[in-house]
Structure 1
């Protein structure tokens, strides 16, 4: 034992109780020196070490003084509380007993020195007091040891029950309610226990006994807010005496239950708060030290179980994910469009996927490097057996990655296939070599296609070329090279400006535009004399398009250039022929009108002469009718010529009523077709700005067409429909539909159908062409519908006013329906 300084300088000689009271701090200072040598106390703070001891010495002083007063004071529960605190701090029973023994020794040694200095006359009293002190100290030790042992036994029983509750399951939601029920049943005053787990800055109720509504409602609390949030933020227990009314409590369930005592403890793991557990009571305002100590011990064990379960769940999830990845990898390998072969570190083939089996015509053969070539039919590009030292897979086993290698394979059926692929080493996380993998594609068909494409490109009459981003020739076919006047090989690597300097100023801006925008430029026409036909101007049309890599980047520009000189010549001839024909028709039709007018005037004069013999009257009438028919044909030719050469048929708009005009046309048709029935159906307004003469011509042509191509005993219908800003005109006749082969070109000029008796109709076949041109001149359209059983209907749509302008006020307001 450490030697203590003597207590001197005291005046008079009091008893042991008075000595303890006056020298308590000195006693505890000496005791602290001794007790700090115990291993359990070295990490204990001084306040925690001295907790309860000053009160214990004070009570001991009063008990010792009772040897003189005859009173019977007690130590009360101080030793028991002190023992529970030491149990919570990790002391075992021997350490608690040794702590008390050292305290006793310090008091007696210091007091003995004090008595020796005072003289022998006080020895009798001192001995009686020391006897009482020892007896009292023995009681304190006994009480502390008993309380410690009971609390220890109760704690061990509770911890065993918690361990049993968690046994056999690794599911938090299954065993947490069991653990909480053990906590509730272990402490008599407790009627609710809840556990919250931390999710970032949020605490969420995961299990509860007594407050199950917190679980069903998903009660949460933020760290730093409310009762549980305060515990999580500070990392220490918090106790409330009247929880139902305390503003710190945020749980409505606790308030409704009228909870009084509420004690919460953090779940600590590795210095971090992972959750909070709290117990509540509706009958007690506070929990005993023993209950709180027991609760903290159970929470500590629960923390370990929760962490263990979470780690196990994470491990299971990791294993499951790894297995899923393994299955996915196996599925990808089997379903890959590439042929995949894997070998282990010794070079033995272990994986040979479905594509490899299909392409090479054999199944997996677990052979080593010396047998690869023979087992799998590996050949060099010149079809020799592939030597091991040249094998890309063998090089990968040496740790080298080999890309874009090519080889051939002879299948069992004798066919030879060409493959291209990559061989790479397989390494473990520690960097050691685990094997190698070969990923290959069958290039046989692609190479054949490329050869075919090359042959087509070379044989193509059009010029084809590929250029890089600097406009240097990468590929050019023979046709374009010949036009440029240089061999193919003299183009490669040279710029456009070097090969065709005369055309570079025109071509290069368009090519660079394609490179910059990534968009094709089509229909580029230009004229230049080629090198293989000097002095003769040729016409060309070119399409330029971007050439992209697999990542979408523009790597160059391609061009297709076609010599259209001959086509231009033929088109020019056709245009000249058509123009000549149409000008000829215009001139002829115009020049014929003068003699024709003379014939008609003479015929009409004869018809009105009184002295014309009856036998000549029929001849004159025939001359007049033929002249009028020729007049109509000449008028149609003039309209046709205007439609093709004069910019369209001219019209002169004026206000008119389409219904009245239609009725007038129908009356003329009835005179020229006696016995035929014509009907007009019109409802609405039919005023507009149109050319009356041209619309009479349109309606007359459609009406005559309907009468000519329908049975004599059927009716022809004219229907007018008011459609607001436009009018729809329909002319319908019964009979056989227009043949499909004629329907598509029915509005073309010089097209004539055939009557039912097989004879062609009279006229030039310009009537419907003129109808279409008149409709278009008015900004309208015309279409035809012809079906078996429905007859034929021509439909004309005419805007009421030109250019979408509004109707003049007088043309609409106050006018009667058309």
Structure 2
């Protein structure tokens, strides 16, 4: 207190109570100056320091005035509020008492100066007022001390329980329910406690006691919204008297259970609101100051414990993540397809994964740098011993990044393998060298494969160069990868000019026609075989037309993926020219046969007519008759042969033997043929088996010729004592004819060409009745002309059977005989 400070004193007749009211500003100012000298009061703001004192001075003045008025007055709860406020600010009991002592001293100092000017009478009155003042002040101090002690004891008990609840907790989910249960049990009027934690701009219920947990667990609101949101936004406590009806309260759990008093405080850490805690009561409309002080103290302690648990959770999560990453790293290192070796800054090997041990890529041991290389274990690429100072990990330990390193290692079994890899220095975040790591892979097989591939490609190039046909390989974009000299010469460009160029760039005039075909091979993966085309050679665009045949096929990997296209192109111009010459020669020969066969009929007819006249003339000598008959037989044979030649010529040059279908009966035709065969082959048995309907549209002359040829063939190639069977089978829309004999089987080698012209049923057959070998060819041609087929089956022990299938009505477009 400043003893030199002057004040405007009241008149001498002013009693102490009125004096206190009149001078309370000077009293509080002087008291504040005195209290600010105390260490514990220096951190309090002025409003917080003077919070309850004006009301306290007013109530003290009222009590002192009872000396004059004879009335009654008391301090009520003013000392309690002051003491609880100081307890909330962290004051000790001695510090609270010292504040009261300084206040008493200030009042008495000012009032003493006033009494000096009042005389003896005023002195006597002043003494009575001082007695009342001191008694009142002592009561205030006693009440404050008592309330402070009670509140402090209760607070300490509550804080101890909170600390006990926090002991042994491992995470927030375990700690928070215990914390809220302690808060709920500490205050009798409180029946619900809720803790909301902040996530960005949202408050979410993290724990609740006394309310429906399922309903509260999903409750959240934004900062600034509702009761808890406004506490977070304003960063100060708040209280409502009827939470069930107050529109500020958004929680239906609080409203539905009829909550009355609701008091909430922010959880502040580092100047930031991290959450809100509030307590509610269904019985009280207002919490006592002591309860609110206690709740604030518990929330303050809980905030520290919450942060501690939070940090513990984060630390444990970080350790767990670090351990998981370490395990994952170890797993990656162990399961890596590459050999991995790690050394610390001193060069001591710390990690050698399973691949490195299995491959023995470096012959390393977990020892110091003096023993990095086993003698003779490591070699340079050219087979010389590798020096220790040149080894890659040693160089990496000196801060050098070694890429594309390659060396050889001799394993314990004596086998030398080739390795490649990278040696990298390992540095901490501050740049200090912490060690080195070597990653290595066994290149032996790859190098062998590359060498084998190079040899294969060299052989392929030799093969391409030696092959006279044009060959090339193109990728999927139709760019030339390889081309041989033959194809390059055809295109009129050197081999080197093709490589890397597209098909369209090399032969632009052919691209519109061939590129779609090549792209289809790439897209479908289907080869285009024996594709014939005609054009002038690209090297001689004005030269004669050339003929080519090409194969375009996909080139695939082992897994079936299409890599590109292989092309094989052959110039077949000479082959085509040769084919044309052969065709012209064959056509000439067959036309010649046709002309000869046709022109031979006239003299043959004259010979047969003359022989017939001799046989009918009377008086001809017997020898002449015999000669005439021989002439007739030979002539008729020549007519048949000429007829066969004519049919052969028509079959080859006229698009098939022409037929003239008309209504006829197959069984009658068959019976007529068998009768003629029996006359010309006396003593041979011919049998007919036919049941059903055998009427149809056929050429009767041609069918007679067909059955006659099959019958003669069966008789000629079967023993004389065996029968020949004709069988007709009604098959509905078709009719089947079978001619069977029991002769020796036709050799299997001859069966595929049995119906070819100029072929005989038996190789080297010299049967005296054999014709030109055209009989079965004509049978096939007649069957095909009717839209039918002919087949043969010949087996040992089963004989030979020719089967003809004929439709009852020949198909449209069947060639007809022209008259």
Which category of TM-score, normalised to the shorter sequence, fits these structures?
0.5 to 0.7
Q: Is the 8 A contact 1:542 1:559 kept in 2?
A: no
> Which stretch has the larger CA shift, 355-364 or 45-54?
355-364
In structure 2, the partner of 1:219 is 219
Distance 2:338 2:362 in 1: 15
Q: CA deviation digits over 1:347-381, x for unaligned, max 9? A: 22232222222222898622333322226811122
In structure 2, the partner of 1:295 is 295
Q: Does 1:573 align with 2:574?
A: yes
Post-superposition shift, 1:42? 2.2
Q: CA deviation digits over 1:466-486, x for unaligned, max 9? A: 99xxxxx9x9999799989xx
Distance 1:622 1:540 in 2: 42
Question: Against the structure 1 CA distance between its residues 443 and 129, is the aligned structure 2 distance closer, same or farther, given a 3 Å change threshold?
Answer: same
Any idea what SS the aligned residue of 1:206 has? strand
Post-superposition shift, 1:141? 0.9
Any idea what SS the aligned residue of 1:176 has? helix
Any idea what SS the aligned residue of 1:429 has? coil
Post-superposition shift, 1:118? 3.2
In structure 1, the partner of 2:560 is none
Distance 2:786 2:18 in 1: 138
Question: Against the structure 1 CA distance between its residues 332 and 11, is the aligned structure 2 distance closer, same or farther, given a 3 Å change threshold?
Answer: same
Q: Is the 8 A contact 2:30 2:106 kept in 1?
A: yes
Distance 2:323 2:73 in 1: 73
In structure 2, the partner of 1:274 is 274
* Structure 1: gaps (5+ residues): 468-472, 512-518, 531-536, 546-557, 604-610, 640-663, 680-710, 720-730, 735-745, 773-792, 794-818
How large is the RMSD of aligned CA atoms in angstroms?
Answer: 5.5
Distance 1:155 1:768 in 2: 122
Distance 2:360 2:106 in 1: 94
Distance 1:316 1:334 in 2: 26
In structure 2, the partner of 1:341 is 341
The equivalences for 1:421-460 within 5 A come to 421-459=421-459, 460=461
Q: Is the 8 A contact 1:59 1:75 kept in 2?
A: yes
In structure 2, the partner of 1:210 is 210
Any idea what SS the aligned residue of 2:372 has? helix
Post-superposition shift, 1:213? 3.4
Question: Against the structure 1 CA distance between its residues 761 and 541, is the aligned structure 2 distance closer, same or farther, given a 3 Å change threshold?
Answer: closer
Distance 2:345 2:66 in 1: 89
Question: Against the structure 1 CA distance between its residues 510 and 527, is the aligned structure 2 distance closer, same or farther, given a 3 Å change threshold?
Answer: closer
In structure 2, the partner of 1:260 is 260
Q: Is the 8 A contact 1:403 1:421 kept in 2?
A: yes
Distance 1:600 1:179 in 2: 132
Question: Against the structure 1 CA distance between its residues 762 and 561, is the aligned structure 2 distance closer, same or farther, given a 3 Å change threshold?
Answer: closer
> Which stretch has the larger CA shift, 221-230 or 359-368?
359-368
In structure 2, the partner of 1:644 is none
Distance 2:124 2:429 in 1: 83
Distance 1:665 1:282 in 2: 119
Any idea what SS the aligned residue of 2:279 has? strand
Distance 2:482 2:596 in 1: 67
Distance 1:373 1:443 in 2: 20
Post-superposition shift, 1:26? 1.9
Post-superposition shift, 1:18? 0.5
The equivalences for 1:141-180 within 5 A come to 141-180=141-180
Question: How many residues are paired up?
Answer: 639
Question: Against the structure 1 CA distance between its residues 411 and 111, is the aligned structure 2 distance closer, same or farther, given a 3 Å change threshold?
Answer: same
Question: Against the structure 1 CA distance between its residues 305 and 481, is the aligned structure 2 distance closer, same or farther, given a 3 Å change threshold?
Answer: farther
* Structure possessing the higher radius of gyration over alpha carbons: 2
In structure 2, the partner of 1:723 is none
Distance 1:379 1:158 in 2: 76
The equivalences for 1:31-46 within 5 A come to 31-46=31-46
Post-superposition shift, 1:586? 8.1
Distance 2:781 2:36 in 1: 127
Distance 1:666 1:248 in 2: 112
In structure 2, the partner of 1:380 is 380
Q: CA deviation digits over 1:565-624, x for unaligned, max 9? A: xx532x3334445556667788999999999999999x9xxxxxxx999x99x9999998
Q: Is the 8 A contact 2:594 2:645 kept in 1?
A: no
Question: Against the structure 1 CA distance between its residues 425 and 718, is the aligned structure 2 distance closer, same or farther, given a 3 Å change threshold?
Answer: farther
Q: Does 1:121 align with 2:121?
A: yes
Distance 2:732 2:179 in 1: 96
Q: CA deviation digits over 1:478-534, x for unaligned, max 9? A: 9799989xxx9xx9xxx969x999x997489999xxxxxxx99999x996769xxxx
In structure 2, the partner of 1:89 is 89
In structure 2, the partner of 1:239 is 239
Distance 1:194 1:224 in 2: 18
Distance 2:317 2:383 in 1: 51
Distance 1:195 1:270 in 2: 19
Any idea what SS the aligned residue of 1:374 has? coil
Distance 1:322 1:334 in 2: 18
Any idea what SS the aligned residue of 1:573 has? helix
Question: Against the structure 1 CA distance between its residues 384 and 139, is the aligned structure 2 distance closer, same or farther, given a 3 Å change threshold?
Answer: same
In structure 2, the partner of 1:310 is 310
In structure 2, the partner of 1:789 is none
Any idea what SS the aligned residue of 1:44 has? coil
Q: CA deviation digits over 1:371-428, x for unaligned, max 9? A: 2222681112232221122222111111111111111111122221111111111223
Distance 2:509 2:167 in 1: 81
Q: Is the 8 A contact 2:594 2:649 kept in 1?
A: no
Post-superposition shift, 1:442? 1.5
